[in-house]
Amino acid sequence: MIPVPQRHVLAWPESRVGMAFRLIPSGSFRMGSRGYSYDEEPIHRVEIAEEFWLGETPVTQAQFALWTQAKKIKHENGCGDHPDYPAENLDWRQAQAYCAWLTRTKGDQFPGGFGLACLPTEAEWEYACRAGTESEYYTGDGEAALAEAGWFDEDFEKGSTHPVRQKPCNAFHLYDLHGNVWDWCHDGWDESAYRIRLNGEIDPGSQQRLLDWSAGLKSMTKSEQSRVLRGGSWGNFFAWYCRSARRSRAGPGDRGRGYGFRVCLVRGLAAGRGALSERAAEPSLGYGRRGTRPESDGTGGAGANVPDLTTATLPRAAGREIS
């Protein structure tokens, strides 16, 4: 059984706003899918070497407004003003700036040993979304399973996002991972990433993220490289766009009514140091090109010595056995 993860809340008492996180344990999982899209293959094992905290929900309008008001930034949500709906109509650069602001202003409230608010890597996102499952959605396979977990297939002209936490959570007690809004991830887009990755290697995106933050926010957000989006949105007609393994992309300056994000807390860079600097820096290194790895055989490789959540027996969530 996966135990209920620890919960931690950042608080803004003056605004009566809080932001809840769940502690996601380290472990390994099988990333990707077979038979859907070239960029999701081959399935391979990835090791998440360190635990991290991930927002229970996408950043809400009320939480996002704390930043826009503090920085005097004009922002309009495309689906109207609703404090408990996901913030949207925002781009990757704004999501990163929000994370930098959160580290500066709320770093003293972070759990001990965690010094940086950032976007999750796509491996962290899929690992947290699956929470031990290998099905299309954490509620199972097929459109009916998706309808249980998330919002999708709504009229793009008349439809809208929905309040967070209205659908069952997964075994990590995370909500709104399927549908509602896409989550921006830190990673730069590479459609061939899975084909050059070694089976069982530690999430390469986590090291790249620290390099990027070490270079400084200003340097990092100058990049024009497309960025990864995960989870699908309320406006996706095809259910398969909302799968755990589905990868999508957009430019770092693109925004829309279906683009949101959730915050990740990681160890490493401390608040107020290099991660938040806007100094000029040498460009950070890209993904290493270490040769073509063999097709995954599911044996786990280097990830075999860490907890394997894909074989865990999960607890009941909202009345449904997750398997």
92 or 290, which is more confident:
92
CATH number at residue 225: 3.90.1580.10
- Show the DSSP H helices in the chain as ranges: 61-70, 92-106, 122-130, 143-149, 204-215, 217-220
pLDDT band at 269, cuts 50/70/90?
low
Q: Please give the tally of structural domains in the chain.
A: 1
Dihedrals phi, psi of 118, to nearest 5 degrees: -160, 180
pLDDT of 254 higher than 50 = yes
- N residues, the chain: 323
Residue 2's pLDDT is 83
202 or 240, which is more confident:
202
Phi-psi region of 289 (alpha: psi -120 to 50; beta: other; left: phi over 0): beta
| Residue range 27-71, pLDDT digits in tens | 999 999 999 999 999 999 999 999 999 999 999 999 999 999 999
Task: Quote the CA–CA distance of 126 and 106 in Å, as a whole number.
Answer: 26
| Residue range 301-321, pLDDT digits in tens | 323 233 334 333 222 233 322
Q: Tell me, yes or no, whether 301 lies in a domain.
A: yes
pLDDT of 21 higher than 60 = yes
The answer to whether 174 touches 131, Cβ cutoff 8 Å, is: yes
Q: Tell me, yes or no, whether 15 lies in a domain.
A: no
Q: Enter the pTM of the model.
A: 0.84
Per-residue pLDDT averaged across 235-250, rounded?
87
Per-residue pLDDT averaged across 167-193, rounded?
96
Q: Tell me, yes or no, whether 11 lies in a domain.
A: no
Q: Tell me, yes or no, whether 8 lies in a domain.
A: no
Q: What percent of the chain has pLDDT over 90?
A: 73
Q: Tell me, yes or no, whether 14 lies in a domain.
A: no
Task: Quote the CA–CA distance of 281 and 169 in Å, as a whole number.
Answer: 41
Residue 187's pLDDT is 98
The mean of the pLDDT values for the chain is: 84
Q: Tell me, yes or no, whether 250 lies in a domain.
A: yes
**Domain, as residue range, for 62:** 20-318
pLDDT of 284 higher than 80 = no
Per-residue pLDDT averaged across 74-101, rounded?
95
Q: Tell me, yes or no, whether 130 lies in a domain.
A: yes
Residue 290's pLDDT is 28
Residue 81's pLDDT is 87
Q: Tell me, yes or no, whether 12 lies in a domain.
A: no
The answer to whether 193 touches 121, Cβ cutoff 8 Å, is: no
Q: Which CA distances in Å does 42 have to 38, 84, 252? A: 8, 38, 26
Residue 82 has a CB neighbour count (10 Å cut-off) of: 15
For 122-131, 153-162, 167-176, 246-255, which range has the lowest pLDDT when averaged over its residues?
153-162
pLDDT band at 239, cuts 50/70/90?
confident
